[in-house]
Homo-oligomer: A and B are copies of this chain.
Amino acid sequence: MVTELAVLNVIPGREAEFEAAFAQAKGLIAGAEGFRSLDLQRCLENRSRYFFRVEWERLEDHTDGFRNSPAYGEWKQLLHHFYDPFPTVEHFELVARVERS
């Protein structure tokens, strides 16, 4: 399992529009091969900042599969114009997890 992570800085004033577009777009990624889960979180200290996380079965499900799919074209069209600066997307592997016992 691999986690895709990005901090998204949305153009100030366009947050509601971005959230509405995200609600439309999320099904595009959730339908991809190897998708496990996603979440979008909004920052309390800076209301234009979001945190986006997707769990994939394998790195290639994101980098080869989703990014080369027609769904990714729709995803970009719906979302990419909201970001400034354009986000850096990176992938992570789990080192440690603790749940409340």
Where the two chains meet, the residues of A that have a C-beta atom closer than 8 Å to any C-beta of B are: 2-3, 5, 7, 19, 22-23, 26-27, 30, 35-46, 49-51, 59, 90-100
A53 to chain B, nearest CB (A): 8
A51 lies within 8 A of B5 (CB): yes
Q: Is B44 within 8 A of A95, CB to CB? A: no
27 residue pairs A–B, Cβ–Cβ below 8 Å: A2-B44, A3-B41, A3-B51, A5-B51, A7-B7, A19-B95, A22-B96, A26-B98, A27-B98, A36-B99, A37-B97, A37-B99, A38-B97, A39-B94, A39-B95, A39-B98, A40-B97, A41-B93, A41-B94, A42-B92, A42-B93, A44-B90, A44-B92, A44-B93, A45-B91, A50-B92, A51-B92
**Nearest CB of B to A78, in Å:** 14
Known contacts A30-B100, A96-B22; decide if A91 and B59 are in contact (CB<8 Å). Answer: no
Known contacts A5-B51, A51-B5; A96/B39 CB under 8 A? yes
